[in-house]
Amino acid sequence: MATLFDSYRLGGLTVPNRVVMAPMSRVRADDGGLATPSMATYYAQRATAGLIVTEGAQPSLIGQSNPGTPGLHTEAQVVAWRQVTEAVHTNGGRLFAQIMHGGRVSHPETTGMQPVGPSAVPAVGDVFTPAGPKPVPVPRALDTEEVPEHARSYADAARRAVEAGFDGVELHGANGYLISQFLSSNANLRTDRYGGSIANRIRFAVEAVTATVEAVGGARTGIRLSPGGGFWGVRETDAAELNTALLDELARLDLAYIHLEATTDDDVLLGLRKAWPGTLVMNPVFPMGPKQTGHTDADRWLGLGADLISFGRAFIANPDLVERLRNSLPIAPVDEATYYQGSDTGYLTYPAYQYTA
């Protein structure tokens, strides 16, 4: 059986280990969605990961979910991201940009626009705004002729990501954001070619991925999915059938990987592993649940057929996580109060493991 520390051929890259840093919003971007020197340091500190997937970057202003997140839709944002990609590459790392369109999970106080979604159905919960958390508003349902432009926005952002020096991109198809909303059986109440049947509900995801592959190539393209996940009130009542159908369509595109979250039972996830002929990145524990991914979880899923394992919160407080896992060193706890605080505290202030004589 493969171990976490074996190398792997991922798309056009050879990664030195099978540890992936999962995308995590840290909301440290400057005004205008610009990456900062602190972001460059943060990702460079973690460059020993086999692959880093960045926090979600919005592909358009209307696609922005939270304030303080970076973008990939202006030339200034491309320039700002170069300091991040150069720092990671200088430290020997590899970096994919996650492209995240928030869809209905947004607010006019953040973007200046009414959020959009597949249907005029609001998300469940409060969303961050510049003035603090507020209830998510009712989105405007996209007209049929508008939908392709939002699918193409992922491809446009992917082109900018490659221009900025990223090794590839991951489309955020999980966790209740726009692609996930189209896949949903309750956020998507459309009666046109993008709604109703499974074949119609997967169409937006397939179009977004296809456009991205045409823009930057399959070897530079991945997608993250959360089968059956209930984030922001999204439901998939037919998660196994829906996601299997989606993977069948995506299998034709020779993607770098599929990134699955453990948001449903093992039987469904193992069925999706069997259905997917390419590389599988597995996030073995429920995102933001009480448990963080550990070495035992990783080994279990490598044994079940995953090719790489993504770790989220453990990377926040452990920039040297790969070394800690390799040498069975203690995993430092994270201070949740600093997740989204905005300063370098709880961002750049976690040290590598301190060995004693």
Beta-bridged to residue 15, according to DSSP, are 8
Please state, in angstroms and rounded to a whole number, the distance separating the CA atoms of residues 98 and 233: 22
Using CB atoms within 10 A of its CB, is residue 86 exposed (0-12), middle (13-18) or buried (19+)? middle
Q: Which two tokens stand for residue 68?
A: 């303080």
Identify the sign of the CA torsion 288, 294, 298, 301: negative
Alpha carbon distances (Å) from 315 to 53, 69, 247: 12, 19, 29
Please state, in angstroms and rounded to a whole number, the distance separating the CA atoms of residues 228 and 263: 6
- Provide the 3-class DSSP secondary structure of residue 88: helix
Catalytic residues: 177
Alpha carbon distances (Å) from 31 to 34, 35, 110: 6, 9, 11
The answer for residues whose C-beta is within 8 angstroms of residue 333's C-beta and 6 or more apart is 317
